[in-house]
Amino acid sequence: MDVIERWSGRYACLLQAALRLTNEQFAAQLGIAVRTVATWHSDAAAVPRKEMQQLLDSAHEEAALTARQRFALLVSGERAPTASSPAGAQTLHFAIAAVIRDHQVLLVCRRDDGASGITWQFPAGVIKPEGKAETTTVRETLDETGVHCAVRQNLGSRLHPVTGLCDYFLCEYLAGEAANTDAVENVDDMWVPKNSLTRFIPVDTIFPPILAVLEEQT
C-alpha cells in the first residue's frame, strides 16, 4: 500500500474519494471544518499542518482494505504514466457537471468510437495544468450546451476506468437554453427527468454520490 510521507490537498482529496465520502462526511470523520476539506479541493498543493497530517495518517491506516486499495490505485494513477503514454505524461484529469433544473438533469450525447457510435454523459472537460476544477466545470458546461450554471457541491473524485481521474460537482442551473454548441464532440444534448437517468447512462457506471444526491432531491 502507498505510504504518504507528506499529505497535500490532492492526496487528501484522493483519500476522500477512496473512502467514498462527501465533504461533510469526510470532515466529520476527521473532526475538522467542512471549509478545510473545500480548501483542499480548491488548492491541490496545499500542505496541511502537522496535526492534520496525523489525522489523515490515521484515516488512511484505519480505512478498510478495499478503501486503501482504491486509494493506492488513485495515487498510482496520479504518479505514473500509462503504458501507451509518452514518458512524463500525466493521467488526464476531468471535471464532471451534474446540472440540475427542477426535476431534470442535463446530459450530452457524445460521438463515440464504440459499437453504439454515441454515448450519453454528463457535461465534462479536461482540467488544464494549474486550472481549477470548479472553473472548468462551469466553463465546459457553457461551451458544450450553452447553459450557465454554478457549482453547488463537490461530490468527490474517482479514477474512472476509461477516462482518467474525475472530479464530480452538483451544479445549479442559472440561465440559457440547452443546445449542442460543440458539434465536433457531441451529437445532441437534452434535459432528462432525474428518475429516467439510468435509461440513458447505465446505473453501474454512474458515480454513486450523484445517484444519492439525485434521489435526495426527487
Distances (CA, A) of 114 to 34, 40, 132, 139, 216: 41, 36, 30, 27, 33
pLDDT score recorded for residue 162 = 61
| Contacts of 184 by beta carbon, 8 Å cutoff, 6+ apart | none
Alpha helices in 20-49 (DSSP H): 23-30, 34-42
Number of domains in the chain: 2
- pLDDT tops 80 at residue 176: yes
State the average pLDDT over residues 182-193: 88
Residue 70 and residue 102 share a domain: no
Percent of the chain with pLDDT over 90: 37
Evaluate whether residue 88 is within a structural domain.
Answer: no
Could you tell me the pLDDT band of residue 115, with boundaries at 50, 70 and 90? very low
CATH number at residue 141: 3.90.79.10
What are the counts of helices (DSSP H) followed by strands (DSSP E) for the chain? 7, 7
Residues 61 and 120 in one domain: no
User: What span, in angstroms and rounded, lies between the C-alpha atoms of 114 and 112?
Assistant: 5
Quote the CA–CA distance of 94 and 131 in Å, as a whole number: 11
Q: What is the Cα–Cα distance from 16 to 28, expressed in whole angstroms? A: 12
Look up the domain containing 192 and give its range: 93-217
Same domain, 74 and 154: no
